[in-house]
Chain A
Amino acid sequence: MNTGVFRLARLPTLAVWPTRLLIWLIICTIFEINSYAQSVQVITKIIDKELPYIEHQPVLLTAQKADITIKGWARPTISVRLRLIAKHPDRATAERELAYHQYTLQSVDGQVDLSNRFVIPQSVGKLRSQLKAVYEISLPAKAFLTVTNSFGDINLANLDGNTNVTFDFGKLTLDDIRGKLTIKSDYGDIDGRGLDAILNVKAEKAEITLQDVSGNVTLQTSFGKLTLLPTLTLDALNVDATRTDILVATKRLTDFWFDVTSLGADIRVPENFADQLVKAKNKQTFRYQPSVKKPEIVIQNRYSPIVIQGEKPLVDRR
């Protein structure tokens, strides 16, 4: 081990400190260059706008590659903060490509139009920066809202109006939603809690989790996973699924009525309800309908299992 820095000890005493200093300087410079090469310039164009909201006026949000947060509030205005982002190690490149972001935030012909898009000249070819849009919107909770997005996450909270969401990829998070909500998802996951709405979901290849769900729920799913935790205030829950792994977790199974059918796959229920499970050749049914009327859960699934749980905490399925 008599190498490198240790040899410095043999240098004349006066030369030791300047040499050490020099070594440190070199190390620091290398670090500096390294960290410079690994850093990205983030240029953000921020647009703030307030628009008046007239009752029953439709609000259209047409987004691309955007992360969206929408919150309902009690004021009669729509407040929008739109961030248009370009990221690239070279600032000039990021600045140039930031200009490919285009947007509209306006109220025209009795409807509010909020949108962003990318307009890239043909000559440019492949983009070098990473471009992205981020919306933060507050609007009247009762608004008539239509959202479309792809390749981005959507967060909706405190809405009590008529909401329509169409998206693909990314994730939709729902928090405290009432009124009417219609969702169409393609490869986009849905995570909801505190829902008490007329909820209509049509999803393909999505992982859906709905906690504390009540109201009137209709789900049409194909592939993917579905986890449902209904509350006692549920009106009705209808699931029509194909190849969707379904889990219904209740605090007490006897709080609900069940009419569950599975084609070409198993239904699993707690042992004490095994009597109600009827297995035919290719079809299984689980019907539990005691005399007292309870919220009804109707499920049909093909080629994927259904699990009904009660009195047990939700197990982690991943």
Chain B
Amino acid sequence: MNNSLPQLPEYDPADNLWDRIEANLQADELFTRLSQELPLHDPNPDLWNSIEANLSVSDTTQIRPLWRDVCVQWVSLAATIALLLVGVWSIWPAETPEKVHIEYATESIKSISDKKSTRPNWPSTTSRTEAFIAKRCAQQKAVCQRPEVHELRKQLTALTLKQQRIEQEREIFGDDPTLLRAQTKLETQRAEVTKELLTLLES
């Protein structure tokens, strides 16, 4: 830093710089002194009158209220309509956005044995029964052509289809109580139909 100072370039101030500064200072001092020495003048007594006279001329200009051109009835009508619209909009039945929340709870299982499906090995029994019925029908065609036998056999087929559907559902939903109940119902029906069919065929 000290070494760099001598390297800076040198400038000479303007010749009349000090005179200018002195003149500025003197002018300030002179203005303060002179402003105190200024004379006081009273205003002309009829000045306000002349101003007022000028003002009275401007009185002739008319001041128009902004609302005068717009009919009051129309304004009130528009306001009423606007209010009505707001009212209708506010009570108009609108689809409310749905509210979603999640609840957690704990439930105790009634009994584990519930889960074990009451499934007697029906596929094997069924196929055996069906084989028996088919054999019987082949032997006694006349019996099987009776409408009630025909109807029962049709029912048995329908029950098998329903049973398959439940099996499919159980492939997805597992040991679901509703599906198990449905299955039990089908099995009961099946047992009833089979029993009736066998009775008819035996007779």
Partners in one complex: yes
- Taking CB atoms, residues of chain B closer than 8 Å to A65 are 173, 176, 178
Question: Which chain A residues numbered 218 to 266 have a C-beta less than 8 Å away from chain B?
Answer: 223, 242-243, 264
Contacts of A264 in B (CB 8 A): 148
Contact B95 A52 (CB under 8 A): yes
For residue B148, which residues in chain A have a CB less than 8 angstroms away from its CB?
Answer: 264, 302-303
A130 with B176: CB separation less than 8 A: yes
Count how many chain B residues have C-beta atoms less than 8 Å from C-beta atoms of the other chain. Answer: 37
B172 touches A120 (CB 8 A): yes
Q: Quick check: which of B9-17, B27-35, B44-52, B106-114 contacts chain A, the rest being far away?
A: B106-114
Partner among A38, A41, A106, A151 whose Cβ is within 8 Å of the Cβ of B178: A151
Contact B104 A52 (CB under 8 A): no
How would residues 171 to 188 of chain B score, 1 for a CB under 8 Å from any chain A CB and 0 otherwise? Answer: 111101111011001100
B119 within 8 A of A: no
CB closest chain-B residue, reference A129: B174
Contact of B93 with A by CB under 8 A: yes
A50 CB within 8 Å of chain B: yes
CB 8 Å contact bits of B77-119 with A (1 = contact, 0 = none): 0000000000000000111101111111111110010000000
**A-contacting residues of B (Cβ < 8 Å)?**
93-96, 98-109, 112, 148, 151, 155, 158, 162, 169, 171-174, 176-179, 181-182, 185-186, 189, 193
**27 A-B Cβ contacts within 8 A?**
A39-B106, A39-B108, A40-B106, A40-B107, A41-B106, A42-B104, A42-B105, A44-B103, A45-B101, A46-B103, A48-B100, A49-B96, A50-B96, A77-B93, A107-B95, A120-B172, A126-B174, A130-B174, A130-B177, A132-B178, A151-B176, A151-B178, A187-B186, A205-B189, A223-B189, A223-B193, A302-B148
